[in-house]
Structure 1
Amino acid sequence: MRILTKDFDSLYEISAFFNLPTELIIDSNKEFFDQGSVLPDEINIPGFSLLPSCFQEEENQGAIRSVERTFQENKQKLWKHTSPAIVGRMEYSPEILERDLAVLKQAYPYASVREIGKSVLGNPIKEIKIGKGNRKIHINASFHANEWITSGVLMELVNAYLIALTNNGGLHGAEAMGAYRSVELSIVPMVNPDGVSLVINGPPKGLEKNLLKMNNGSTDFSGWKANCNGVDLNNQFPANWEIEKGRKEPKSPAARDYPGNKPLSEPEVAAMAKLVRESQFDMVIAFHTQGEEFYWGYGGREPGDSEKLAAIFSKSSGYKAVRSIDSHAGFKDWFIQEFGKPGFTIELGKGINPIPLSQYNKIYNQIKGIFISALNWR
C-alpha cells in the first residue's frame, strides 16, 4: 500500500511504526531512494493493505488493527498480511499465475517481476526476484506441461517467504531476513505457459487440428509434456543433445519426448538459457514430477558442494538423492556442464502425471525443506 509521509520525521520512524526492516521499505521504493536519501512525500509499505472500516476486527481474528495517526482521517484500518494470499492447490493455469503475480507485486513491492521472454504463442514467461545478496539461486517449475502442480507449490513457497520477511519471522524455523540479505533468489514459476494451458484448458482456437494430430488424435491432453510446437523443453539443452536426438522416440513433433531439430530452438528454452548466462547463478533447481527423488550430477562435472547439498536436501525432504541417470540435454545437465556449479532436478510427488491434487499438501511439506535449505546454503 502507499502512504503519505507527512506525519513521519524519518525512514527509521516509519520502519519502527510498521515494525518492518528498513531495507524492505527502501527496496519497495527504489524509484524514490535511488535519487537520494530525502524522505519522499509518499511511499510503498510492503506487507500491508488498507481496508474499509466496515470490516469488523472479530471477523478477521485480529489481523486488522486501527491506526491512530495517518489513517484515522480516512476512517480506514490497516491489514497486515500474515497468511498466504496464494492458493496453489488448484489446476494452476497461466491465468491464475498472472493474477497471483499481480497480488504479490502489489503487496510486496520489494519483490520485482519482469518478463524474460515469450512462449511459442506469445505468452509472457515471468521471473520473480527477491533479495539482495551476492549468492544467486534460481528455481523454476513447469518445464513440462502436465507438471503444472509444481508451479502452484513454488508460488506458495514464494508467498510464505515474503510473509516471513514482512513479519520479522522465520520461514519454517529459518530466519528469513538473513536469507534476504545473503541471497538473490530468482524464480521462474512457469517455463511452459502454452503447454500448461493446453493441458488444463484444451487447445486454443485455430490450433486444434495440429495439436490433435501431435496428440495422436486424442482430445485428452493430460499426458502432454511438450510446448505447443510439440517439443519437449527439457530435452532441448546443448548437453549431449545429439545422443538424445538419436535415441528418442518419436522423431517428429509430439506430445512428449521429441527434442526438436536442434538445441535451443524453442523460445522458452532460449529465454531460460539467456537468463542463466546473464545472471550467472550459483545454483539452479528445477521442479518436475514425479518420483519423490532428485538428480544432482551430470557426467562427473558436478562440484563437491553438490553432494553436500544433496545430503541436506534428502534429509530435509525425505526424497532419494540420485547422482545421475542415463539422460542428457536437460536444464540441470546443461547448467552443470556449462558452469560447473550445483544443479538439481527435483521430482515432486509419486504416481502418474498430472499428479493428483490430493498429494498437494504432502508435496508442499516435503519440498519446503529443500526450498529453505537452498536459501540458507552457505
Structure 2
Amino acid sequence: MAIPYIVQQGDTYLRICTRYGINLHALFALNPQLDTEDYALPGQVITIPKRPNNTYIVQQHDTFYDIASRFHVPAQLLSSANPCINPSRLMEGQSLLIPYGCPEGALRRNAEYGHVQLTEDICRLSSRYSFISVETIGHSVLGKPIQAIGIGRGGVPIHANGAVHANEWITSALLVQFIEDYANAYDSGLAWRGWDAHAAYERTSLWIVPMVNPDGVELVQEGISLGHPFYKSIMEWNQGSNRFQRWKANVRGVDLNDQFPAHWEEERERRGMLSPAPLNYGGEQPLSEPEAAALASFTEQIPFELALSFHTQGQEIYWNYRDYEPEESLYWAERFQLVSGYRAVKLAGSDAGYKDWFIQRFLKPGFTIEVGLGSSPLPLHDFNSMYREVSSILMEALRGDIVENENT
C-alpha cells in the first residue's frame, strides 16, 4: 500500500523518510520520476510506501502508556490505531497494533538537521530540563534567531559553537545530541561512559551556539526558490548552479569564519576573494555580518576560559595562533587528541577565524575541531562514530580534574 503526500516547505526527502519510518531507496523506487540529486520542491506530489503496523501482545502488568512509551508512539496515535481497545482496561493476551511513531532525536541522526529541527529540540529540552538555559544572541541576515544553550552553574565558563560554515551543519546535530545526553546524565544522577555529569555541572558552565549560520544551512539543505530574497544574487555567486553542497557562506556570500578581526586584512589578501562567493570571501570588513557579530558579542559578554569551534572535516585539532596562545593550549590539545583519536596540528597561514580571534583577543586556549572524514556535508551513516569523538572532546573539556590542574 502507498499514500500520496504533498511536499511541504522545509521538507527534504530524508526528513520525509525519517518521519514515515521508511528508507530513501524505497521512496525513490516508488517515485521513479524523482532525481536523487534534486531538492524536494514544495507542492510536489509524491507517493510514500505505507509502513506495516507491528502487532504486540499485551503482557501481565502492561499499561497502555507504558506500551506507547516503549514503542516511541504518542498515546493518542496508539489509541487511534486501536479504536476497540479501552486504554484503561487492557487485558493480558490482547493484540495491539503498533503504528510507527518517529522517535525523539530521529531526525537529528537520520536526516538533515536544520534551524526548524534545532528550534524544536531547544523547546523540548528546555521544557524537560529546568536547569537548561536558552538565550537568543542575535539574528541572521534573514531574521532567524541565533540561540545559545547553557548548562552548568560552575565558575569555569566554556564555549562551543557549530555550523559556522553552512555545509557543516552536522556539527549542530552533534552538539545538540551532547546537550541532551549531558542533561539526561545530570538529571538521572548516573555516570555516562564513566563521566561525572554532576561534577562537570558544579565546576563549569557550558554555553553552546549550535548553529551560527542558519540561513546558509537552510540553503544547503533545501535549495532555493524564486521567492528567496537573495535568489538572483545567490544563483550568480553559485555560477548558475542550483546545487549548494559546497556552500559555506551565509546568504550574502560571506564566509563567516573569515570575518573575525584577527589579521583580517592579511587573510583577505591571501584568499584573493574580493566579492561574494560560496566560500572564502571575508566581507568588506570584519564582523560586517550579523551572525559573526552576534557570536563575537556573546563571547565578549562571558569570560570563557576555553572555546571550541566545531567544523568538518579532517579529524584534526588546530590549537595555536601566531604565538598568541597560552602555554596550556598544547596541553589541552594533547588531551583532546588522546580521547578523540584526532591529530593535534600546529597551524600556520590562516587568519580571521573565530578560533584565531578568540586566542588573540583573550589570550586563552581556543580550538578549531575538524570533525570526521570525507566531503562536506558528511554522510549521516558516520554520525555515531563522529558523535563519540565530539562528545569525548567536550567531556574532556568539562572534566573537573583538568580544570583543577589548569588552575593550580
Aligned to 1:56: 66
One-letter code aligned to 1:86: G
Please state if 1:326 is matched with 2:349: yes
For 1:263 and 1:175, the matched residues in 2 are separated by 40
Q: Which residue of 1 aligns with 2:157?
A: 136
State the shift of 1:117 in Å.
0.1
- Is the 1:295–1:325 contact (alpha carbons within 8 Å) kept by the matching residues of 2? no
| Residue aligning to 1:124 | 145
1:288 corresponds to which residue?
A: 311
Contact preservation (8 Å) 1:134, 1:182: yes
Answering whether residue 336 of structure 2 is matched by residue 317 of structure 1, we say: no
What do residues 47-67 of structure 1 show as CA deviations (whole Å, max 9, x unaligned)?
xxxxxx631359629xxxxxx
Question: Which stretch of structure 1 is more off in the superposition, 85-94 or 230-239?
Answer: 85-94
Match of 1:370 in 2: 393
- Once the two structures are superposed, residues 106-136 of structure 1 have per-residue CA deviations (whole angstroms, 9 ceiling, x without a partner) of 1112101111000011110000011111000
| Paired residues for 1:145-184 under 5 Å | 145-184=166-205
Counterpart-to-counterpart distance in 2, 1:340 and 1:286: 16
- How many residue pairs end up in the alignment? 305
Runs of 4 or more above 6 Å deviation: none
Specify the SS of the correspondent of 2:378: coil
Would the alpha carbon gap of residues 100 and 58 (structure 1) be closer, same or farther in structure 2, given more than 3 Å must change? closer
1:203 shift after superposition: 2.1
Provide the rounded CA distance (Å) in 2 between the counterparts of 1:349 and 1:260: 28
Matched residue, 1:86: 105
Q: Measure the CA separation in 1 of the matches of 2:205 and 2:69.
A: 37
Q: Give a deviation string over 1:215-253, Cα, whole Å, max 9, x none.
A: 111000111000001000000001000001112143100
Q: Report the equivalent of 1:97.
A: 118
Match of 1:335 in 2: 358
The residue that corresponds to 2:240 in the other structure is 217
What is aligned with 1:20? Answer: none
1 CA distance for matches of 2:391 and 2:203? 19
| SS in structure 2 of the partner of residue 174 of structure 1 | coil
Q: Deviations over 1:305-332 (max 9, x none)?
A: 1111111100000000012231000000
Distance 2:310 2:122 in 1: 19
Structure 1 residue 355: deviation in Å?
0.9
Q: Distance in 1 between matches of 2:372 and 2:345?
A: 16
Gaps of 5+ in 2: 1-62, 72-87, 89-102, 404-408
Question: Partners of 1:132 and 1:308 in 2: how far apart?
Answer: 25
Q: Residue 149 of structure 2 aligns to a residue in which SS? A: strand
Q: Name the SS of the counterpart of 1:270 in structure 2.
A: helix
Residue ranges of structure 1 left out of the alignment (5+ in a row): 1-52, 62-74, 76-83
Residue identity opposite 2:65 in structure 1: F
1:261 corresponds in structure 2 to 284
Kindly state the Cα deviation for residue 86 of structure 1 after the two structures are TM-superposed: 2.7
C-alpha distance in 2, partners of 1:242/1:143? Answer: 20
Contact 2:322–2:348 (8 Å) recurs in 1:
no
Comparing 339-348 and 197-206, the one that deviates more? 197-206
Q: CA distance change for structure 1 residues 228 and 54 in 2, over 3 Å: closer, same or farther?
A: same
SS in structure 2 opposite 1:171?
A: coil
Where 2:211 maps in the other structure, the secondary structure is coil
Which string of whole-angstrom CA distances, capped at 9 and with x for unpartnered residues, describes residues 265-299 of structure 1?
00001101100111111100000000011100001
Paired-residue identity, %: 45
Q: Tell me how large the CA RMSD over aligned residues is.
A: 1.6
C-alpha separation between the residues in 1 aligned to 2:371 and 2:332?
17
